[in-house]
């Protein structure tokens, strides 16, 4: 893929913004940090970080799946090739990782980035389907989309490897920001955290990997 940078100006169109309703439960794969925390680390290298992270630390972000399958697919499966036979996930990627359920505690406006809605902001399908090699460009798109739509709390898009499942990225611009975005809008569901290294955690991981014709190495 060769994803183009976003245009200098917002394209003509009507961005599709929908409400992520209070009470919605989403799932996150994470490390030792709390599941409802946002990661403020600048990610100027494509070798680290997520698809819509900030290049320079202007915002913090968190990635969540609509369920456990989506959360695992977007984290552990994200580096798998879209095609080809080499479909192995290193077992080391499970070490220290957990999966938790969080609840949205207030309505959040989110920009839809799948289906025909992508055309309304001039974005190609590659924005959510590209490999990590394009992450510097996808992060430039995140900056542009956030600039054009300063009130949205995040983006909703289809998982790269499973178009049947949805993922969200939510943003926290800090306490001094003009709009709260998703700051303070998540709450960990009590007793929902599970280590991916436990029997139950491994069972979920293997279920997702088998669905993607992959396995642990």
Write out pLDDT tens, residues 126-157. 999 998 899 999 999 999 999 999 999 999 99
pLDDT value, residue 22: 98
Label residue 184 by pLDDT band (50, 70, 90): very high
In a domain, 1, yes or no: no
pLDDT value, residue 191: 96
pLDDT value, residue 46: 85
- Considering only 3-17, 67-81, 95-109, 176-190, which range has the smallest mean pLDDT? 67-81
In a domain, 160, yes or no: yes
pLDDT value, residue 13: 96
- For residue 186, give its domain range: 22-216
In a domain, 11, yes or no: no
CB 18 within 8 Å of CB 112: yes
Mean pLDDT across the chain: 94
In a domain, 6, yes or no: no
- In a 13 Å sphere around the CA of 31, the CA atoms on its Cβ side amount to 5
In a domain, 152, yes or no: yes
Closest CA relative to residue 101, chosen from 194, 17, 177: 194
Q: How many domains does the chain have?
A: 1
In a domain, 14, yes or no: no
Instruction: Retrieve residue 214's tokens.
Output: 């992959």
In a domain, 113, yes or no: yes
pLDDT digit string (tens) for 36-93? 999 999 999 988 899 999 999 999 999 999 999 999 999 988 777 766 555 788 899 9
Instruction: Retrieve residue 105's tokens.
Output: 């505690």
Q: Rounded to two decimals, what is the model's pTM?
A: 0.94
CA 84 from chain center: how many Å? 24
In a domain, 103, yes or no: yes
Pairing of strands 60-65, 88-89: unpaired
- In a 13 Å sphere around the CA of 146, the CA atoms on its Cβ side amount to 27
């Amino acid at each position: 893929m060769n994803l183009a940078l976003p245009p200098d100006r917002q394209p003509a169109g009507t961005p599709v913004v929908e409400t992520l309703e209070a009470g919605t439960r989403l799932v996150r794969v994470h490390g030792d940090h709390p599941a409802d925390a946002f990661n403020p680390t600048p990610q100027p290298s494509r070798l680290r970080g997520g698809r819509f992270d900030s290049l320079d630390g202007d915002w913090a972000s968190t990635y969540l799946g609509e369920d456990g399958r989506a959360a695992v697919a977007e984290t552990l499966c994200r580096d798998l090739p879209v095609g080809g036979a080499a479909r192995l996930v290193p077992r080391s990627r499970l070490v220290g990782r957990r999966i938790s359920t969080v609840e949205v505690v207030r309505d959040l406006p989110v920009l839809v980035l799948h289906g025909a809605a992508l055309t309304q902001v001039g974005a190609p399908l590659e924005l959510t389907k590209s490999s990590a090699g394009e992450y510097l460009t996808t992060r430039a798109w995140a900056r542009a989309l956030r600039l054009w739509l300063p009130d949205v709390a995040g983006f909703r898009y289809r998982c790269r490897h499973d178009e049947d499942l949805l993922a969200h990225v939510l943003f926290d611009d800090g306490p001094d920001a003009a709009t709260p975005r998703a700051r303070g809008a998540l709450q960990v569901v009590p007793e929902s955290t599970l280590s991916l290294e436990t029997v139950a955690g491994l069972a979920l991981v293997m279920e997702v990997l088998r669905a993607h014709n992959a396995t642990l190495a």
